[in-house]
C-alpha cells in the first residue's frame, strides 16, 4: 500500500559530491538491496557515473549484480557463508572478503585446481565483529605463499567511530593498525590495495581514505554527522527515498474519546482524524505510536494512538480539506517541511540505515533514471 519513490539522480549527485571530496577510488556499498533502494537500479545508475567497483553483502547478491554489470569489480563483504557459496565463487569474478581461517582454508580446498581466485582479507582493527587479528598477518603471508591459487587483491577493515567527531583518535588508531598490516604484506611481496573509509570517513577523515573508499549511507542521502559538530559536512547530500501512504478515512474524534488499540491517546479537544493506510505490515514500526509525524502538503500531522498492522491515525485538525484518496508522506515530501530520514529514525528510536532498509522492502518506483 505504501508508495516508495527512489530518485536516482539524487544518488548520482551524492556520488559526485563524495567523489569531489576524496581522490581515492570509490566502491559504492549496495548491499542489502542498496539499503532498500534497489540493488540493480542503483548500481547501474552509479556505473553511468563511472563507478567500476561495488560492494555487496552476500555471494548471491554479487551473482545477481554480475548479470547486469559484466565488467565491474564486485566484492562480497561477508564472503562465503553457506556451503554452496564456495562453489558459486568459481568463475564468478566476485572478490570475497575472507574474515576467518575456516573460510580461507575451505576456499583453498574447494576451488578447482586449475583456477585462480582473487580474494580480500578483512581485519579486525577495533570493532570486534568480523576479521582476522592484525597479529595474523605474518601467518597469512605464509598461507598465500603456500596457496598460489588464492591471490590477495585487497585488505580492509571497518571503522567503529567514524561518525563521532569526538573519537578521531580511535579512527587514527585503526588507520595505523591497518597500515601496519599492509606493510607486512608488502614486505612479503604481496601486492594489494587497502580499504577502510566509510561515508563518515570520506567526509571527515582523509587519513583513512587509502586506495579505495566505501561510501554507504551518504550515497542515499543520509548524513552520518546529523546532530554533531560536523553536521555541515553532509548538508549537500540529497535524500533519495520518499514514501507516501493513502488517506483511507477522515472523521471527527470528540474530546475525551480514545483511539486505536489500547486507547493510548485521548483527544484533548474535539479533533478531526485521518486514518492512513500504513502500519507495521508495511514496515512502518509500531514504535512510532504517538511519536511520529506525517506530511500532508506543507503541514505536519502527528501520529496519534498505536500504529496498527495496516492503519495509523493522525491528527488532521489543521487540514480541513484532507479527504480519502489523498496521500501523505511518511518520509520525504516537498518543500521545507519534508520529513528527513534522521527525523524519522529518531522517532523510530533507531538509525537511518534500518529505516531505509525496511521501508525499501515495499514496492519501488524510480524517477530520473
Q: Active-site positions? A: 31, 261
Residues in a beta bridge with 301: 294
Q: Count of CB atoms within 10 A of residue 328's CB?
A: 28
Closest CA to 274 of 333, 339, 319, 340: 319
Helices 352-359 and 341-348 meet at what angle, rounded to 10? Answer: 100
Distance (Å) of CA 143 to CA 86, 137, 193, 211, 344:
18, 10, 18, 24, 48
222 CB-near residues (< 8 Å, 6+ apart)? 199, 237, 239, 341, 342, 352, 353, 356
Please name the residue that has the C-alpha cell 545477481: 64
Please name the residue that has the C-alpha cell 483527544: 267
DSSP label at residue 264: -
Q: Count of CB atoms within 10 A of residue 289's CB?
A: 22
Distance CA 296, CA 326 (A): 9
Residues in a beta bridge with 245: 328
Amino acid at each position: 500500500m505504501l508508495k516508495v519513490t527512489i530518485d536516482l539522480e539524487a544518488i548520482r549527485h551524492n556520488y559526485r559530491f563524495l567523489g569531489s571530496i576524496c581522490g581515492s577510488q570509490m566502491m559504492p556499498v549496495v548491499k542489502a538491496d542498496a539499503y532498500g533502494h534497489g540493488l540493480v537500479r542503483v548500481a547501474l545508475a552509479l556505473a553511468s557515473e563511472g563507478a567500476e567497483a561495488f560492494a555487496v553483502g552476500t555471494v548471491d547478491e554479487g551473482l545477481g549484480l554480475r548479470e547486469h554489470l559484466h565488467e565491474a569489480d564486485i566484492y562480497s563483504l561477508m564472503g562465503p557463508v553457506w556451503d554452496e557459496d564456495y562453489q558459486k565463487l568459481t568463475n564468478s569474478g566476485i572478490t570475497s572478503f575472507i574474515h576467518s581461517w575456516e573460510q580461507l582454508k575451505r576456499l583453498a580446498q574447494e576451488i578447482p585446481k586449475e583456477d585462480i581466485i582473487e580474494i580480500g582479507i578483512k581485519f579486525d582493527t577495533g570493532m570486534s565483529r568480523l576479521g582476522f587479528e592484525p597479529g595474523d598477518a605474518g601467518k597469512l603471508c605464509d598461507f598465500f605463499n603456500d596457496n598460489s591459487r588464492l591471490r590477495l587483491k585487497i585488505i580492509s577493515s571497518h571503522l567503529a567511530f567514524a561518525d563521532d567527531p569526538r573519537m578521531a583518535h580511535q579512527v587514527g588508531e585503526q588507520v595505523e593498525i591497518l597500515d601496519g598490516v599492509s606493510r607486512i604484506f608488502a614486505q612479503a611481496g604481496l601486492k594489494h590495495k587497502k580499504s577502510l573509509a566509510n561515508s563518515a570517513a570520506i567526509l571527515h577523515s582523509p587519513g583513512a581514505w587509502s586506495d579505495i573508499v566505501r561510501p554507504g549511507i551518504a550515497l542515499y542521502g543520509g548524513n552520518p554527522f546529523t546532530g554533531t559538530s560536523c553536521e555541515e559536512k553532509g548538508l549537500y547530500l540529497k535524500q533519495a527515498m520518499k514514501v507516501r501512504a493513502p488517506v483511507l478515512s477522515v472523521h471527527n474524534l470528540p474530546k475525551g474519546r480514545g483511539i486505536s488499540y489500547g486507547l493510548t491517546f485521548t483527544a484533548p479537544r474535539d479533533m478531526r482524524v485521518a486514518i492512513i493506510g500504513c502500519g507495521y505490515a508495511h514496515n512502518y514500526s509500531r514504535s512510532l505510536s504517538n511519536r511520529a509525524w506525517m506530511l500532508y502538503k506543507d503541514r505536519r500531522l502527528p501520529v496519534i494512538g498505536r500504529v496498527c498492522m495496516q492503519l495509523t491515525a493522525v491528527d488532521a485538525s489543521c487540514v480541513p480539506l484532507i479527504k480519502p484518496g489523498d496521500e501523505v508522506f511518511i518520509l520525504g515530501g516537498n518543500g521545507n517541511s519534508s520529513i528527513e530520514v534522521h527525523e524519522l529514525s529518531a522517532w523510530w528510536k533507531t538509525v537511518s540505515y534500518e529505516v531505509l532498509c525496511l521501508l525499501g522492502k515495499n514496492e519501488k518506483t524510480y524517477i530520473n533514471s
